[in-house]
Structure 1
């Protein structure tokens, strides 16, 4: 099993057209205590790339890794709602990044019940907010954040790999301002692709 330095080298040597480095590598030692398959290593590599692209607002760079037939789902909280979550194909994702005045209803905000209505780029910037996870070591198929919201990810996405990026919150709020994003992948013709971006945080 490669160590984190070997893994980082493999990532750097990946085709530059797809795996450009957006910022500090944060893979940490996620491989050191976890047994992963070669496929899961690829999932982790892709997840880190996607998170970095989101953190640096290079949203278009995510499009090639969206599942070709299933598209990508966006869940505001840990509960994946098959009826109301927004799902965009790769083409739609690209289109709505450019048509930034088109607004979507993403769901209800916890606490107030107000509808969260905003364009796709604003949702990625303000709600997904991947910049929070720059110093966080990701985990594969393991949850770090737990709140009151029902987490049904492993029920909806059985036999799927997911990578979680976790922000532990601040001392000021006793960690209750923690956040997490989970990137879920599915195989297509022997290669993993992104099928969901699930956000999570403390809920009432």
Structure 2
């Protein structure tokens, strides 16, 4: 009887260890085949775009543009259809030929924003180190100023990322906050940029 009890204990122990081993193996397998989500795909493209901007690699940045629609650039949180929309090839040609483009209108004065591409990027796109943003989010707004943010009205079905700094100089009490929003659209199973929106406190 004692001999049979010992055998039973050994068998149970062996089964338990095998079960634990199987569970560990299944967990590893599940991790390996974890489906890449829509959010993962979008954030990957966003990361490529931001790193390209930081490195001033504009060919790499332009590779993120939607192949058919190109990208709309909005200097402020309120998007309108006078803001520059441009295909990747035209964007790169504008850089190469130093074209002055009209991007929208300055807040306050209403005068046209006429700048070459690189100065526009420095002022209204990568005006801060958004790769190391203070906060970032997906499909949710962080920066909130005194102008209308109509991103969800203009792009109701699309996803976006936001990169945010609460301010840079204490004397402004947070009125110098800055955000960059990137909007994405799917094309032939991949996600591409369709809008690059800068936001800040406006007068």
Q: 2:118 aligns with which of 118, 121, 130?
A: 121
| Distance (whole Å) between structure 2 residues aligned to residue 155 and residue 113 of structure 1 | 23
Q: How many matched pairs?
A: 166
Greater mean deviation of Cα atoms: 46-55 or 181-190: 46-55
* Contact 2:47-2:131 within 8 A present in 1 as well: no
5+ unaligned residues in a row in structure 2: which ranges? Answer: 1-35
| Distance (whole Å) between structure 1 residues aligned to residue 67 and residue 126 of structure 2 | 24
* Contact 1:55-1:130 within 8 A present in 2 as well: no
Residue correspondence of structure 1 range 8-87 to structure 2 within 5 A = 38-82=37-81, 84-87=82-85
- Measured on the aligned residues, the alpha-carbon RMSD in Å equals 1.5
| Distance (whole Å) between structure 1 residues aligned to residue 48 and residue 136 of structure 2 | 12
Deviation at 1:130, TM superposition (A): 4.7
Runs of at least 4 residues off by over 4 Å = none
Instruction: Tell me the SS of whatever aligns to 1:138.
Output: strand
What is the TM-score normalised by the length of structure 1? Answer: 0.77
> What's 2:101 paired with?
104
- Higher CA-based Rg: 2
Task: Render the CA deviation track for 1:146-168: whole Å, top value 9, x for unaligned.
Answer: 01111110111111110101111
Instruction: Tell me the SS of whatever aligns to 2:110.
Output: coil
Q: 1:148 aligns with which of 133, 139, 146?
A: 146
Does residue 190 of structure 2 align to residue 200 of structure 1?
Answer: no
